[in-house]
Amino acid sequence: MDTTFPFPLIVSLYEKVRLIRRFEEVTAEIYPSDKIKSPVHLAIGQEHIAASVCELLSTADVVNGSYRSHALYLAKGGDPRSLMAEMFGKIEGCCKGKGGSMHIADLSHGIMGTSAVVGTGIPNAVGAAMAFQIQGRDNIAVTFFGDGATEEGCFYESLNFAALRKLPILFVCENNGLAIHTPVAKRRKQTDLGYIAESLGVPALYANGGVLQTYEHARSAIRAITAGRGPRFLEVRTHRWREHVGPGEDYDAGYRSRSEAEKWMKLDQMEFLGAYIDGVDSSKRQQIDDGVEKLISDAVAYAEAGRFPGIEELVEDVYA
């Protein structure tokens, strides 16, 4: 057994990944009923990225992301009940039922928010990092985004500014190789996204999709950031198992193949972590799985029992 990664760490990572996986699988089951009031973008197959990075963060560190948002919310400690209620459009949701799946926040756990507009979380996270620097705090900001976001202008502006100011921020690119349906090789000549980050003055690290490698690289990046050495960029290669938006699969759509997916599915990081746990304590994995199922069933019941916002909420929590 590799002693570089202690057993309690493996357990914690598995708990996070298992919770995200099952939460999203149950979301996919519920979605056709129309109880969920917004589109859903599932991170099934990519869960370990948010789990690995958030494992290294404190509550006071902040994260944000895009519309594929459930993983970072749950990995950072967000309440599954509040998230499910939010997707049901209920006032008990983390954003009072007004944000849905794509727009979620929980400042008590350092979750700044997520957005359906590609790339917009990146400059917001830079702003948070700058605030930490001005305030003399030791915290960091982390922004999660897909490879498509690296083609937005704010990506270049944000990395350049963060490098100039040596801001405490980690840029995490969950590179599944697709901007909705278009492969990265059809969108840009330079497909090495870390190279692009480094050309803007932000050192890059690469992970091939493995949970422990992702954790190790994130740990290295965060150590550099907290030592005052400026921002870091982490590119993690991955594969989303479900369609871009919605609960189903889309391998018959012609833009990607089932055979490609099967290579990634054989490397399922949830199963990797589970097998690791089985090798040490054969009862521990079942205990975790049972606990996760209870959390999710409680979340669904909580959402079902919730109330839709009243008309008085229409003008609450707005600027004007």
- Domain range list for the chain: 7-240+247-315
pLDDT-derived band of residue 320, with 50, 70 and 90 as boundaries?
confident
- Look at residue 209 in the predicted model and tell me its pLDDT: 78
Average pLDDT over residues 141-157: 97
Say what the pLDDT of residue 251 is: 94
Among residues 92, 98, 148, 146, the alpha carbon closest in space to that of 301 is found at: 92
Read off the tokens for 190.
């330079």
Task: Summarize pLDDT for 57-87 with one digit per residue, the tens.
Answer: 999 999 999 999 999 999 999 999 999 999 9
Higher pLDDT, 11 or 318: 11
Answer whether residue 309 shows pLDDT above 60.
Answer: yes
Regarding predicted confidence, which is higher, 233 or 282? Answer: 233
Answer yes or no: are the C-beta atoms of 139 and 62 closer than 8 Å: yes
This prediction has a pTM of: 0.96
Reading the block at residue 195, the tokens are 């190279």
What is the token pair recorded at 69? 């948002």
The pLDDT of residue 25 is above 80:
yes
Q: What CATH code would you report for 7-240+247-315?
A: 3.40.50.970
Summarize pLDDT for 107-120 with one digit per residue, the tens. 999 999 999 999 99
